[in-house]
Structure 1
Amino acid sequence: MGNSGGSLTTRAAGELHQLMRAAGFTGIDDTRASVKGWQVTDFADAGPSSLANLVRRLGAPALMVSYVDSDVGLVEALTPDGGSWEGLLNPELAESYEIPVEHFPVEAAVAGALAWSAAAGLTPDEEAVRQALTGSELFAEELSSALLTALGLPEGT
């Protein structure tokens, strides 16, 4: 059985764990810091409004990936001005979990991802974003790392 928690990527100047708990995240694990203030934090669970609550508290863009047994990743991203997008990692395996792939159109996700990246002050690679959202890997976490790099996040995020 694989990972069934999630990971959160954002910029935060203050105590991210405390802000995440206040926003409704549980089982918060270590944070991996990167350059330019970007951080990745693993968590066990998040409520339906946790990401929106956190973005509102931080005033910074954030991207969350919720994993289903490390096979599939459900991506949700928000910006403080209300920009949002959703995507699916490892879509080939999603149907085995009864996840409706048609609810995650690739071109809409790519467009949303590019807008999110620009709002975050990053420089995305459109083709690499599309490849991460349509690709297949043994573990969805591998596609998540590829997506973060494609969005222009600093190496090591």
Structure 2
Amino acid sequence: MGNSGGSLTTRATRELHGLMREAGLTGIDDTEALAEDWQVTDFSDAGQRSLSALVQRTGTPAVLVSFHDSDVGFIEALTPDGIGWEGLLNREMAESYEIPLEHFPIESAVADALAWSAAAGLTPDEEAIRHTLTGSALFAEELSSALMVALGLPRATS
């Protein structure tokens, strides 16, 4: 059985773990520092509207990916100004779970991801975003990592 938790990528904020708990995220793990004050934190479960509550509390853009048994990733992203998007990773596996793919149109997700990335002060790669949203992998976490790079998020610090 694979990962059924998720990951949150956001700008560094003091007391992030406390703010994550207040926003309804549970099972919070250690935070990995990325360059340019970004960070990624794994969690075991997110409540409904957790991302919105967290972005309001931190005042920073964020991307939350929830995994279903490491097979599928559900993406939510939001900026403090309300620019957001949703997407789906590993569509082929999602289809085997009978997740309605029409609820996750690719072209609007790509366009919205580009807008979110620009609003977050990042430089996205449109084709790489499209590739992660249409690609398949053994583990959805692989596509999630590739998506973060495609959105223009910096890599981990040394």
TM range (shorter): over 0.9
Partner Cα distance (2:134, 2:119) in 1: 23
Corresponding residue for 2:47? 47
Unaligned runs of 5+ in 2: none
Report the secondary structure of 1:66's partner residue.
Answer: strand
- Give the TM-score normalised by the residue count of structure 1: 0.97
Residue identity opposite 1:111 in structure 2: A
Corresponding residue for 2:139? 139
Partner Cα distance (1:62, 1:13) in 2: 11
Deviation digits for residues 96-134 of structure 1 (CA, Å, limit 9, x no counterpart):
222111100000000010011001100000000000100
Unaligned runs of 5+ in 1: none
User: Percent identity over the alignment?
Assistant: 75
Deviation digits for residues 67-123 of structure 1 (CA, Å, limit 9, x no counterpart):
011011000101111111000000001022221111000000000100110011000
Q: How far off its partner does 1:145 sit?
A: 0.4
Task: Indicate the RMSD between aligned Cα atoms, in angstroms.
Answer: 1.0
CA contact (8 A) 1:76 1:87 kept: yes
Deviates more, 1:86-95 or 1:12-21: 12-21
Partner Cα distance (1:111, 1:68) in 2: 25
Count of residue pairs the alignment pairs up: 157
Q: How far off its partner does 1:142 sit?
A: 0.4
Residue identity opposite 1:126 in structure 2: E
Q: How far off its partner does 1:35 sit?
A: 1.0
- Give the TM-score normalised by the residue count of structure 2: 0.97
